[in-house]
Amino acid sequence: MDNRFSISTYPDAAEINSQLDALIAKPIYSVKPGALKTYEDEYYSKKCIKSKHMIEEASKVIPGGVQHNLAFNYPFPLVFTKAEGAYLYDIDGNQYYDFLQAGGPTVLGSNPVEVRSKVIELLNECGPSTGLFHEYEYKIAKKIIDNFETVEMFRMLGSGTESCMAAIRVARLATGKKNILKMGGAYHGWSDQLAYGIRIPGSKWTQAHGVPRYIFRHTQEFFPNDLNDLERKLKRNTLSGGTAAVMIEPLGPESGTTPVDGKFNKGVEALCRKYGALLIFDEVVTGFRVGMSGAQGYFGVSPDLTIFGKVVAGGYPGAGGLGGKKEYMKFLSAGIAGGPKVKKALVGGTMAANPLSCVAGYYTLCEIERTQAAQKAGLMGDRLTEGLKQLIAKYNLPFVTFNQGSICHLETVGTTHYAINWSKPWTIPGVLNATSERKKEMEHVGAAYMAEGLVPWQEAGCIPVLHTQRK
Ligand code: PMP
């Protein structure tokens, strides 16, 4: 094991994908109706009364009663009032293990005092934002650049979504080419152009309700793990505007839920060089969780542009940014008169790079480095996955479990493992029905997890390092 990283052994992607194929070929295995009813009657109706009342009121003013997509919401969302290290507490005082970790940014666990105290100091001194330069803007950029070899410059933005939008603008300006090829099933935020091939590889525009189809004229997808498909599309694009960039989540779509082969990233890099497309790594989940140099350090790949999110504000708001070589980052120079004379990509955000996000991000990254948090969390991920494997075998369950360091997966219904094949259009409704049916069952599994005291992240759980402190 390379001890700079959280991944001790990279999973055998072919083996896992065949286990996932077998899982979705089987009928759904879920919580028995009687057991679900017991959870509803004994836990949710008796022990979550304050949550229930608050969500009833919230549903009158907030669509669906909540503002986030990541947590399970059946039979109703719970209201959380306290987060501390590896634990969450709801408004009724129930305690949970936190495997969601705010969707991944809190590698150190929730609300660590080392970061919080610096944030409070800054708030006392200058408040959260001024709209002007602050020293922590420099410090966080320098910290990222010192750890990511391919990042010579960094521009902080407000979210992962914004950073993905900026990346494709820069790629088009830098190459003069038009098309963006993204990996099917991958999530790169919810902007119009990237709402393509979401969740289900091959799904194209079908999941992008509210986005006109012409927006996707220059967005395309290729199948995960399929370098031949990627090359075919790169070749085809040479006849129609070229490929500005290939964009991937380096562990596989949806944070590695369908894992890519260990050699896949290098293969993508070689094809990008061959066809003159920029390689964009979306490290929103993997940056500083796989290791201080991200998934690119682990795979030994040199992307042209890297997208950061979440962790660069340590769980505080305003988390995102784009990094890369100077020759590309010049298209992001800010300021009215500043920077080189090139056409600049349109990016902005009044709250982007505010002092609060920057100070929180800077000390978060320092703490992750100082405590080797990513590596420690990876070891806990190994331990958890090993335990899950033993339970799956003991109870003869059809489930699939694997981990990439501290990103742990327990697939009980395999919702994200479908793909759409347009050459067999009659199969498409079946795939869409199966995924929504399985997603519904996932909600039931989620209800059981929560009632048993675990808050997971849909089917991918992140293990914050603080779980190590429990004996
Ligand atoms: N890219 C990836 C790989 C993500 O996982 C996410 C969010 N989960 C995003 C982009 C979007 O980031 P944000 O939610 O900050 O807009």
Return the residue matching tokens 């079946």: 430
Question: Does the beta carbon of 189 sit less than 6 angstroms from any atom of ligand 1?
Answer: yes
Q: Which residues pair with 307 in a beta bridge?
A: 282, 322
Residue 73 reports pLDDT greater than 90: no
Look up residue 7 and give its two tokens: 């991944």
Whether 12 sits among the annotated catalytic residues: the reply is no
Question: Does the beta carbon of 30 sit less than 6 angstroms from any atom of ligand 1?
Answer: no
CB atoms within 10 A of CB 62: 11
Distance of alpha carbon 61 from alpha carbon 55, whole angstroms:
10
- CB contact set of 110 (below 8 Å; sequence gap of 6+): 83, 84, 85, 86, 87, 88, 98, 101, 102, 315, 464
Please give the average per-residue pLDDT across 319-338, as a whole number: 88
pLDDT (0 to 100) of residue 115: 97
Residue whose CA is closest, atom 14 of ligand 1? 160
Candidates 177, 233, 310, 344; catalytic one: 310
pLDDT (0 to 100) of residue 109: 93
The model's pLDDT over 243-282, given as tens digits with 9 standing for 90+, comes to: 999 999 999 999 999 999 999 999 999 999 999 999 999 9
Residue of 351, 374, 354 lying closest to 364 (CA atoms): 374
Average pLDDT, the chain: 93
pLDDT (0 to 100) of residue 471: 43
Question: Does the beta carbon of 137 sit less than 6 angstroms from any atom of ligand 1?
Answer: no
Whether 282 sits among the annotated catalytic residues: the reply is yes
Look up residue 100 and give its two tokens: 């969601």
Q: Which residues pair with 219 in a beta bridge?
A: 180
Global pTM?
A: 0.96
Q: Are 462 and 405 in contact (CB under 8 A)?
A: no
> Which of 22-31, 336-345, 390-399, 440-449 shows the lowest mean pLDDT across its residues?
336-345
Residue 339 reports pLDDT greater than 70: no
Whether 310 sits among the annotated catalytic residues: the reply is yes
Q: Are 434 and 441 in contact (CB under 8 A)?
A: no
Residue of 268, 298, 263, 271 lying closest to 283 (CA atoms): 298
pLDDT (0 to 100) of residue 461: 61
Domains of the chain: 13-109+372-469 (3.90.1150.10), 113-370 (3.40.640.10)
Candidates 74, 97, 136, 187; catalytic one: 187
Query: Cα torsion for 236, 239, 243, 249, to the nearest 10°?
Result: -10
The share of the chain scoring above pLDDT 70, in percent, equals: 95
Distance of alpha carbon 358 from alpha carbon 334, whole angstroms:
17
Please give the average per-residue pLDDT across 45-53, as a whole number: 97
Residue 334 reports pLDDT greater than 80: no
Residue whose CA is closest, atom 13 of ligand 1? 160
Rounded CA Rg of the chain: 22
pLDDT (0 to 100) of residue 439: 86
Ligand 1 centre from 22 Cα, in Å? 29
The model's pLDDT over 184-242, given as tens digits with 9 standing for 90+, comes to: 999 999 999 999 999 999 999 999 999 999 999 999 999 999 999 999 999 999 999 99
Distances (CA, A) of 80 to 55, 66, 250, 259, 446: 11, 12, 32, 32, 16
Distance of alpha carbon 446 from alpha carbon 412, whole angstroms:
11
Return the residue matching tokens 């909540």: 66
Residue 43 reports pLDDT greater than 70: yes
Distance of alpha carbon 462 from alpha carbon 457, whole angstroms:
7
The answer to whether the bond into 464 is cis (omega within 30° of 0) is no
pLDDT (0 to 100) of residue 66: 85
The model's pLDDT over 281-294, given as tens digits with 9 standing for 90+, comes to: 999 999 999 999 99
The model's pLDDT over 152-186, given as tens digits with 9 standing for 90+, comes to: 999 999 999 999 999 999 999 999 999 999 999 99
